[in-house]
Structure 1
Amino acid sequence: MSVRNLHYFFSPRSVAVIGASARPGSVGATVLANVVGGGFKGQVWPVNPKYTELAGLPVARDVAGLPQAPELAVICTPAATVPAIVAMLGARGCKAAVVLSAGLDADAGGGRTLRQAMLDAARPYLLRILGPNCVGLLVPEAGLNASFAPVAALPGRLAFLSQSGALVTAVLDWARERRIGFSSFVSLGDGSDVDFGDLLDWLAADPGTDAILLYAESVRQARKFMSAARGAARAKPTIIVKAGRVAEAAHAAFSHTGALAGSDLVYDAALRRAGMLRVYSTGELFDAVAVLAQPRRPAGPRLAILTNGGGPGVMATDALVRGGGSLAPLGPATLARLSANLPPTWSHGNPVDVIGDAPVERYRLALQALLEEADADAVLLIHAPTAIVPAADIARALLPLLRAAGKPVLCCWLGGASVAQARSLCLDAGVPLFDTPEEAVRAFLQLADYQRNQHLLTQAPPAGRPAPADREAARARIAGLLAQGVTTVSEADAKAILAAYGIPVVATETARDAAAALAAARRIGFPVALKILSPDIAHKTDVGGVVLDLAGEAELAQALEAMLARVRAARPQARLAGFTVQAMARRPRAHELIAGMSVDPVFGPVVLFGQGGVAVEVTADQAVALPPLNRVLAADLVGRTRAARLLAGYRDVPRADLDALYEVLVRIGEMAAGLPELVELDINPLLADADGVVALDARMRLAPVPAGQDPLARLAILPYPAELERRVDSALGPLLLRPIRPEDAPAHVAFFHGLSQEDVHYRMFGMMRELSAAQLARFTQIDYAREMAFIATRKAASGADETLGVARMQADPDNIAGEFAIAVRSDLKGKGLGLILMACLLDYCRARGLATLRGTALAGNVRMHGLARACGFELRATADGTVEMTLALLSHAAPPAAPPS
């Protein structure tokens, strides 16, 4: 389930409090008092067989005694009673219940817990459960306080979701003091039914919510969460504090990659990929709440600081630079303007120190100058109390500028009672307020980080695709190894699989004994490297199992004998399978890197990159990303490591071939998606220099995929579905119909320019001459788990792919209904391309089990009306001048294969 029936939580017309009580301090009494006292305008029905009246309301003995089915029920009864109550509520027609009760992990009999019995009771009726073990929810605009929180939430436009009940009450108390309001405040508790994914989907479409804040301790159903998080973060700012940063996956691993890709690194990668902002403490969470309560966002990381004291300005500057931000450069016009209005002793730069004796007008002129400085992305106002001018007078004079500012302004009124009135004035005006300069700077940097994450979502990778991987060769080799019971892959086999995916490797052979090793070296050519081959030795250098730069047969023979002696002494129980012989790669200026893949228990496969070599754990310079990757995402992955600065070149070391490196990371992502048996990959070292990249050493671990399991089940983000490509003959010649991908962005721009203004108007319901970067990303970087866009392509005269038409479908989170849209290049109309695209889209929608497909067209778009009728849609004119097109997919045959005559 997902958003089905969630509206009953947020806008119910009636609420039943099951277990309502008069006992002071009880949950039942508190919830009833909150529901009645919160201003809820609907019906409130207490339920408890011990009472006939509570809070002036008649009390029903049980669910059967209610006058009608409640739209929302709040259950405050002991855990053992919950499954039966849920069953009765479902039978009465209730569609939403908040279960505050804890202890549902207890045995219910028949091999089920009380929790499972509760879910089983709700499922036949599509009754949605929030909780159990939660504080409840608050919807201030509706006057709904269905919780046992000690204070109510103020109305506002922030949504807050939390897995921690204690944090719910703390944030409510903190936010009320600062006059921050909420559109909804939800405690998920155990999240047995309604979870983060469901609520993110709901709130992303909620017109009353401007930003979403989450406190999370764990995530389940990673793909559902990622789809919902990506959709929500594209729609509005979404900020999360993820608790539990200690790596849950810390253990002795098969490879460096497995040991390094700890779970918190993966959470970082997942949240970044979704476009969310992660914060790391409740203090930062509160800062984020304060900043998100106002709508302005910084365009970048450049901050202008206005202060009446040098010390606070220096403190703010230190925090800003340490956090990755920068002081905004002040242009000549701004400097001249400030010099004309400030004393000669002013700081003549950023931070702008207006001196401790500054009167009100000096503050106002300085703030106005900084607000109009184009290179300042935001302004921080710091005031330390003085005996010259009351802080409240300064605040009153600045409030008109603060309210009208076109960029974020953060205020820090240092002190206590002497600045209390100034702080209160700012709070009343909705200006973000902070106790210290460091807190204010941290909040600004959070905003800047969020903007960077959002910018990453809109970047389009370059057009063109490299030669496809030989996936079948890789799969055949893996199948052969597994058939032999091999799960720890030899270096030679690992490199063969890498080579099948286009990753450069050095020539490598395995040898069972010394004679075979000498023969392999002759074939490869000296100099060579020699390595021990053993399924029991993960890190060969630790036991003397690696010798480099062997120039001839005599050296190799000597090295073979000595290596066997060292390894047998160090690891006498290890099974020795022979040796690996490989060509020496003479690249003295190459950087030693690590690249690989492991499987996270929550988010599935992740790609890792960082500094490599034998000291990889010591350097601790790694970053991870969720596959699939493209060039933009690979570049971001590399850029999050210290190694990126080395790869950019320094002194007489030239810049490494970063494009070749990005391609390796993209290919590893393809392996994660295309080779479901691959559970761990370690390329270390991966050499990178100006001449390209090459894998010197590689390790792999395999595991069979259980029979009947979807090979893509482990992926949090679905990869490009190449299996949906189809070639068709048309009046335009042979065409390739395929899903759209991020690399199609340049061709999509050209396609848009090939639409007439009339067609743009019909497609977009408005006039538009260019696609914004965000629109282009939204059209080409789609979530294959929830949407599909098929494009018709052919080769242009230039040899590049050109897009001729596109048919799109966006499924609802429940995969019941979808919305479609279609566009064909204006000069190609009337040639049957629209019908071909619609046939492809309808085949796909039926295959994924959609029940209904809908679309909306303007009344004048008669070509679209005709196409829809030809495909079996029912058309209905609406009062707003549009035409609704609806097709019940499960009861209609496929559309005709050719346009009607």
Structure 2
Amino acid sequence: MSVRNLDQLFAPRSVAVIGASLRPHSVGATVLRNVLAAGFKGPVYPVNPKYDTLCGLRTWPGVEALPEAPGLAIICTPAATVPAIVRQLGAAGTRAAIILSAGLGAGTDAHGRTFKQAALDAARPYVLRLLGPNCVGLLVPGIGLNASFAHTGAIPGRIAFVSQSGGMVTAVLDWARSRGIGFSKFISLGESADVDFGDVLDFLASDADTGAILMYMEDVRHARKFMSAARAAARSKPVLVLKAGRMPEGARAAASHTGALAGADDVYDAAIRRAGMLRVLTTEDMFAAVETLAHARTRGGERLAIMTNGGGPGVMAADALGAAGGTLPALSAATLASLDAVLPPTWSRANPVDIIGDAPVQRYCDTLSVLLNDPGNDAVLFIHAPTAIVPSADIARAVAPLAKAASRSVLACWLGGDGVLEARRIFAAEGIPAYATPEEAVSAFMQVAQYRRNQDLLMQVPATVAVHVAEGRAVAAQVVRAVLASGRSILTEPEAKQVLGAYGIPVVQTRTAADPGAAAEAATAIGYPVAVKILSPDITHKSDVGGVALDLDTAEAVRAAATRMQRRLGQLMPGARLEGFTVQSMARRPQAHELIVGVATDPVFGPVILFGQGGVAVEVMADHAVGLPPLNAVLARDMISRTRVARLLAGYRNRPAADIDAIVRVLVQVSQLVADIPELVELDINPLLADSEGVIALDARIRVELADQTASTLDRLAIRPYPAELEEQVVWNGETLTLRPIRPEDGPAHLAFFAALTPDDVRYRMFVRVRELQPSQLARFTQIDYDREMAFIATRALPGGGEQTLGVARVVADPDNIQAEFAVTVRSDLKGHGLGRVLMEKLIAYCRTRGTREIVGEALPQNARVIKLVRKLGFEVTPNPAEDSVHLSLRLD
């Protein structure tokens, strides 16, 4: 369930307070008072059999006695009474209720169900949506609705706030009201038995009254639903997350380094980043970020020019920028010359630009103009400390028009108190974000930079990566099945390398030997020098028991090393099973970096991929980044860039840069492995050696478990990957075409396809005349969420390589998969040959398979071809004169 009937929750026609009371400090009394005090315009029905009237209103003894079904019911009664009340409300016609009552998960009814489950069961037949239980309620200030027991109300605004914590609800309400911050919606989720983050994000994404969404999050329960909703919402408005629980609770018990390193907070951070949202660390940062993002210009980047009338504040800002990972760009020769012309000889001649404390108004304006014309920065930080030379307000009045008209972001720091209050007010009135300290201003700038990076990842149209996989996929699956059939969960090192090799990941040649003598024979066959490692299902990290010997160059050395390992294992772990030894060729890569690539399985978000600095001290170094599969080249490069080892990989002194493309390929191949093999729960490639010649895996560890045979292979992924199984070849008009889902890599071909459409065909498709697709539009068309939308394209192979897009049929389902809206477009020079029908039949079959109930669409009356096509496919065609359009619908159920 998702957005169905949520309009009744946020815009009810009437409100019933069930359990209303006069008892001081009771929830029922507080809620009734809040509903009446906020100025709600619709009828309010107190419900309590103990009273005839409450607060001057007639009071009703029960739900069945009400004169109408309330649009919204607020339930304040004991836990045991809630399921029956929910059932009565549903039968009466109510479609939204808030359960403020606590304790529904503790008690059980006569059937052994918790009261929470009983309430859900009672609501389900009526699609009655439940907010809570154990929540504070919700506020919609724009319609005067305060359906909560919060101690204060909210003022109207454009921000929606969603919280899992009732304490955060009341604290933020109080904090925001004291600062004049208003809200469009203020929502306490409580235990989220029904309405959860995914539902609310889906609703708020298309809410015209909401300009930004803020969330206080403690956990997520339905990862796929949450990620789909979050990515959709983040495409349309800023979404900021204050995630609690940042500190690790200790390393989890795991069979791999990755399992221990990929903590829950790392995974949430990766999910927030992947969804295009911004994570903040404090409540104040959250609201400051909203203010900054609301006025940020389109430039991204991390290069900040700083101008100040005092050296100290400029140094403080530069220090904060460096600590946050930003860039303090050097001033170009042209910029230095321009500043020399307007500044006194004693100016700093560097960034930060110190314009000296005696600066008159014109010096501020001239300096800011020069910096805004410098292509070497992405934003300008204006810092001013009050002086007796010129009133701060005069400077603000002169500078504000320049800052407001700038093509890049200008941030201000007015240092001081009463002396700069008027200056701050002037900037605020012009929509220029201002901060009290240089550190706050730099933090805000870096938030914008991070937000832009996250948005770029969300909207990216990445290039194609050549991934050598497919042929060995069956081999890898067979290895895993054989291991599970033998009762094991840990693959031997040779088995793990066989799986990696099947996916095109370079591995060193490795053989298995039963005893020291066989190890010597294997080493001779491979060629010296070699490494010998102990082979035991009971040993997680071989080096911990002296189970690794390197650079052995004779058969005698191999035999002796294996014998020592055998003896040492018997002394240190007499109960451990010894299955033999692995012998592998030594990889002579003296300038290689030791990296780790791994997979862990998070209980909420499923498989996650880790990249970082490897080696035996990997957990101590803790230099890693986590990402959610599926990965492509852009996402893989972003993961690499977020680690400290990335700087080493770029090369230094006489050490050449590592082959980053090869590392990217490994990450993408591991992502594909995760999607293909549902039994895989943990994986370590450690170390993965990387240098200018490429990469090679020296050691590998894989843990597997039996997969749920009733679930789809891809259900465990938080983001549904590209559905290759939907690809097919068709014969059309005498040639073979490929019908397949659209991919992000189709961006250039989609631009060419759009360019081949006539202006009328574009208008028929988009209802307006559009000359060219903007980058954000192109990304929305080609980078889709396969879990809730689909676009099938028809392509032909080009003689010189590549593909040409000939047509596209697109469908976007509502979050409940009840109704899906379609559109179909064929290249203008190919119309009339049946390609539209081929695409639509593919689309209809797909929707039937997905269980969609109805396909709908809108067409202009002049679009005769599409109207004729859908009639033949069984669509109902209904004129809609009020909208100058034609409504198209096909029932599938």
Does the CA-based 8 Å contact 1:807-1:821 persist in structure 2? yes
Identity of aligned residues (%): 62
Does the CA-based 8 Å contact 2:46-2:59 persist in structure 1? yes
Does the CA-based 8 Å contact 1:290-1:433 persist in structure 2? no
Question: In the superposition, relative to structure 1, how do residues 45 and 432 fare at CA in structure 2: closer, same or farther (>3 Å)?
Answer: farther
Q: Distance between the aligned counterparts of 2:590 and 2:106, measured in 1?
A: 64
Instruction: Say which is worse superposed, 439-448 or 102-111, in terms of deviation.
Output: 102-111
TM-fit CA distance, 1:721? 1.4
TM-fit CA distance, 1:333? 7.2
Corresponding position of 2:62:
62
Question: In the superposition, relative to structure 1, how do residues 429 and 17 fare at CA in structure 2: closer, same or farther (>3 Å)?
Answer: farther
Q: Residue 854 of structure 1: which of 850, 853, 856 is its match?
A: 856
Q: Distance between the aligned counterparts of 1:48 and 1:863, measured in 2?
A: 61
Does the CA-based 8 Å contact 2:212-2:237 persist in structure 1? yes
Does the CA-based 8 Å contact 2:464-2:633 persist in structure 1? no
- Partner deviation per Cα, 1:334-391 (whole Å, 9 max, x = no partner): 6667666655554455434454445556555655665565555434343334445554
| SS of residue in 2 equivalent to 1:488 | coil
Question: In the superposition, relative to structure 1, how do residues 349 and 579 fare at CA in structure 2: closer, same or farther (>3 Å)?
Answer: closer
In the alignment, does 2:889 pair up with 1:889?
A: no
| Letter of the 1:107 counterpart | G
Corresponding position of 1:520:
522
- Partner deviation per Cα, 1:788-813 (whole Å, 9 max, x = no partner): 11122232111323222221111110
Does the CA-based 8 Å contact 1:178-1:427 persist in structure 2? no
| Letter of the 2:278 counterpart | L
Q: Distance between the aligned counterparts of 1:19 and 1:435, measured in 2?
A: 47
- Partner deviation per Cα, 1:492-518 (whole Å, 9 max, x = no partner): 111111111111111111122233323
Q: Distance between the aligned counterparts of 2:366 and 2:36, measured in 1?
A: 50
Corresponding position of 2:85:
85
Corresponding position of 1:662:
664
Q: Distance between the aligned counterparts of 1:157 and 1:374, measured in 2?
A: 34
Q: How many residues align?
A: 890
Does the CA-based 8 Å contact 2:300-2:452 persist in structure 1? yes
| Letter of the 2:767 counterpart | F
Corresponding position of 1:781:
783
| SS of residue in 2 equivalent to 1:863 | helix
Q: Distance between the aligned counterparts of 1:294 and 1:99, measured in 2?
A: 38
Question: In the superposition, relative to structure 1, how do residues 430 and 462 fare at CA in structure 2: closer, same or farther (>3 Å)?
Answer: closer
Alignment of 1:836-855 (within 5 A): 836-855=838-857
TM-fit CA distance, 1:854? 1.1
Alignment of 1:154-169 (within 5 A): 154-169=155-170
Question: In the superposition, relative to structure 1, how do residues 47 and 354 fare at CA in structure 2: closer, same or farther (>3 Å)?
Answer: farther
Corresponding position of 1:750:
752
In the alignment, does 2:658 pair up with 1:675?
A: no
Q: Distance between the aligned counterparts of 1:689 and 1:279, measured in 2?
A: 36
Corresponding position of 2:186:
185
In the alignment, does 2:579 pair up with 1:577?
A: yes
Question: In the superposition, relative to structure 1, how do residues 676 and 124 fare at CA in structure 2: closer, same or farther (>3 Å)?
Answer: same
Corresponding position of 1:311:
312
Q: Residue 558 of structure 1: which of 557, 560, 578 is its match?
A: 560
| Letter of the 1:319 counterpart | A
Alignment of 1:693-772 (within 5 A): 693-772=695-774
- Partner deviation per Cα, 1:664-700 (whole Å, 9 max, x = no partner): 1111111111101111111111111222211111111
TM-fit CA distance, 1:785? 0.6
Instruction: Say which is worse superposed, 641-650 or 810-819, in terms of deviation.
Output: 641-650
TM-fit CA distance, 1:625? 0.7
Q: Distance between the aligned counterparts of 1:585 and 1:400, measured in 2?
A: 63
Question: In the superposition, relative to structure 1, how do residues 796 and 60 fare at CA in structure 2: closer, same or farther (>3 Å)?
Answer: same
Corresponding position of 1:630:
632
Instruction: Say which is worse superposed, 731-740 or 376-385, in terms of deviation.
Output: 376-385
| Letter of the 1:833 counterpart | L
Q: Distance between the aligned counterparts of 1:770 and 1:295, measured in 2?
A: 25
Q: Distance between the aligned counterparts of 2:56 and 2:393, measured in 1?
A: 46
Cα RMSD (Å) of the superposition? 2.4
Corresponding position of 1:71:
71
In the alignment, does 2:618 pair up with 1:603?
A: no
Corresponding position of 1:48:
48
Corresponding position of 1:94:
94
In the alignment, does 2:206 pair up with 1:205?
A: yes
| SS of residue in 1 equivalent to 2:696 | strand
| SS of residue in 1 equivalent to 2:133 | coil
Normalising by structure 1, we get a TM-score of 0.94
Corresponding position of 2:232:
231
Does the CA-based 8 Å contact 2:597-2:610 persist in structure 1? yes
Instruction: Say which is worse superposed, 136-145 or 627-636, in terms of deviation.
Output: 136-145
Alignment of 1:324-403 (within 5 A): 324-327=325-328, 345-358=346-359, 363=364, 366-367=367-368, 376-392=377-393, 394-395=395-396
Q: Distance between the aligned counterparts of 2:257 and 2:570, measured in 1?
A: 23
Q: Distance between the aligned counterparts of 2:361 and 2:144, measured in 1?
A: 42
User: Structure 1 unaligned runs (5+)?
Assistant: 891-901
Q: Distance between the aligned counterparts of 2:655 and 2:293, measured in 1?
A: 45
Does the CA-based 8 Å contact 2:273-2:454 persist in structure 1? yes
| Letter of the 2:665 counterpart | E
Q: Distance between the aligned counterparts of 1:865 and 1:18, measured in 2?
A: 51
Normalising by structure 2, we get a TM-score of 0.95
Q: Distance between the aligned counterparts of 1:510 and 1:551, measured in 2?
A: 18
Instruction: Say which is worse superposed, 574-583 or 553-562, in terms of deviation.
Output: 553-562
Question: In the superposition, relative to structure 1, how do residues 878 and 87 fare at CA in structure 2: closer, same or farther (>3 Å)?
Answer: same
TM-fit CA distance, 1:447? 1.1
Corresponding position of 2:834:
832
- Partner deviation per Cα, 1:269-299 (whole Å, 9 max, x = no partner): 1111111111122332232233245465553
Q: Distance between the aligned counterparts of 1:369 and 1:100, measured in 2?
A: 58
Question: In the superposition, relative to structure 1, how do residues 423 and 52 fare at CA in structure 2: closer, same or farther (>3 Å)?
Answer: farther
Corresponding position of 1:894:
none
Corresponding position of 2:870:
868
Q: Distance between the aligned counterparts of 2:66 and 2:296, measured in 1?
A: 44
Alignment of 1:171-320 (within 5 A): 171-248=172-249, 250-292=251-293, 294=295, 296=297, 298-320=299-321
TM-fit CA distance, 1:73? 1.4
Corresponding position of 1:685:
687
| SS of residue in 2 equivalent to 1:107 | coil
Corresponding position of 2:812:
810
| SS of residue in 2 equivalent to 1:701 | strand
Corresponding position of 1:141:
142
Question: In the superposition, relative to structure 1, how do residues 830 and 649 fare at CA in structure 2: closer, same or farther (>3 Å)?
Answer: same
Does the CA-based 8 Å contact 2:465-2:633 persist in structure 1? no
